Amino acid sequence: MSAGGTGSTGSTGGTASTSTGGTASTASTSTGRTPARAASRPGRDDSPDRLYTVTGGRSRTHSDAFDLVTLVVAESAPAPGMQSEHAAILRMCDYPVAVVEIAAELGLPVSITRILLADLLDTGRISARHPRAAPESAELPEPELLEQVLVGLRNL
Amino acid sequence: MASATSDQAPRTQRHLSRTADNGLKIVVVGGFGVGKTTLVRSVSEIRPLNTEETMTRAGEGVDELDRTSTKTATTVAFDFGRISVDDRTVLYLFGAPGQERFWFLWDRLFSGTLGAVVLVDTRRLADSWYAIDRLEHHGTPFVVARNDFGDASQHTDAQVREALDLPEHVPMITCDARDRESAKGVLIKLVQHLYALSTAARGSTHQ
Q: Where are the domains of chain B?
A: 22-201
Q: Looking at the structure, do residues A79 and A100 belong to the same domain, yes or no? A: yes
Q: Looking at the structure, do residues A17 and A75 belong to the same domain, yes or no? A: no
Q: Looking at the structure, do residues A34 and A76 belong to the same domain, yes or no? A: no
B117: phi then psi, degrees, rounded to nearest 5: -110, 120
- CA atoms of B184 and B181, how far apart (whole Å): 5
Q: Give the pLDDT of residue B139.
A: 86
Q: Looking at the structure, do residues A120 and A72 belong to the same domain, yes or no? A: yes
- From edge to edge, which strands make up the β-sheet containing A126-129? A97-98, A71-74, A126-129
Whether residue A122 is contained in a domain is answered as: yes
Q: Looking at the structure, do residues A43 and A99 belong to the same domain, yes or no? A: no
- CA atoms of A60 and A111, how far apart (whole Å): 8
- Chains A and B form CB pairs within 8 A to the count of 160
Q: How far apart are the first and last CA of chain B?
A: 26
Whether residue A142 is contained in a domain is answered as: no
* Greater pLDDT, A64 or B23: B23
Q: Assess A98–B contact: CB distance below 8 Å, yes or no.
A: yes
Number of domains chain A is built from: 2
Q: Give the pLDDT of residue A41.
A: 46
Q: Looking at the structure, do residues A50 and A71 belong to the same domain, yes or no? A: no
pLDDT of A19 over the 80 cut: no
Whether residue A23 is contained in a domain is answered as: yes
Q: Give the pLDDT of residue B204.
A: 53
pLDDT of A30 over the 50 cut: no
Q: Looking at the structure, do residues A95 and A48 belong to the same domain, yes or no? A: no
Q: Looking at the structure, do residues A121 and A85 belong to the same domain, yes or no? A: yes
ipTM of the modeled complex: 0.83
Whether residue A75 is contained in a domain is answered as: yes
Q: Looking at the structure, do residues A47 and A72 belong to the same domain, yes or no? A: no
pLDDT of A59 over the 80 cut: no
Nearest CB to A140; choose among B111, B188, B198: B198
By C-alpha distance, the chain A residue nearest B46 is A101
Q: Give the pLDDT of residue B20.
A: 97
Parent domain of A96: 63-129
> Are A97 and B15 an interchain contact pair (Cβ–Cβ within 8 Å)?
yes
Q: Are B120 and B39 in contact (CB under 8 A)?
A: no
**CA distances for B188 relative to A97, B32, B160, B173, angstroms:** 25, 24, 21, 11
How many CA atoms lie within 13 Å of A126's alpha carbon, on the beta-carbon side? Answer: 33
Q: Are strands B22-30 and B115-120 parallel, antiparallel or unpaired?
A: parallel
pLDDT (mean) for A57-78: 82
DSSP state of A7: G
- CA atoms of B197 and B169, how far apart (whole Å): 10
By C-alpha distance, the chain B residue nearest A139 is B112
User: Which residues in chain A are closer than 8 Å to B24, comparing Cβ atoms?
Assistant: 69, 131, 133, 141, 145, 149
Which of the four CATH numbers 3.30.390.30, 3.40.50.10260, 3.40.980.10, 3.40.50.300 does domain B22-201 have?
Answer: 3.40.50.300
* Greater pLDDT, B59 or A132: A132
The helix/strand/coil state of B201 is: helix
Q: Give the pLDDT of residue B112.
A: 85
Q: Give the pLDDT of residue A94.
A: 96
Q: Are B87 and B19 in contact (CB under 8 A)?
A: yes
Q: Give the pLDDT of residue A58.
A: 67
Closest C-alpha among B80, B79, B77, B72 to residue B55 = B72
Q: Give the pLDDT of residue A149.
A: 96
Whether residue A138 is contained in a domain is answered as: no
Q: Give the pLDDT of residue A18.
A: 35
* Greater pLDDT, A43 or B35: B35
In terms of phi and psi (left: phi > 0; alpha: psi -120 to 50; beta: otherwise), the region of B28 is beta
pLDDT of A39 over the 50 cut: no
**Residues of chain B scoring pLDDT < 50:** 1-13, 59-69, 206-207
By C-alpha distance, the chain A residue nearest B204 is A143
Whether residue A152 is contained in a domain is answered as: no
Query: Exposed e or buried b for every residue in B136-149, given b needs 16+ CB within 10 A?
Result: eebebbbbbbbbbe
pLDDT (mean) for A77-93: 96
Q: A21-30, A85-94, B43-52: which has the highest mean pLDDT?
A: A85-94
| Digit-coded pLDDT (tens) for B83-94 | 999 999 999 999
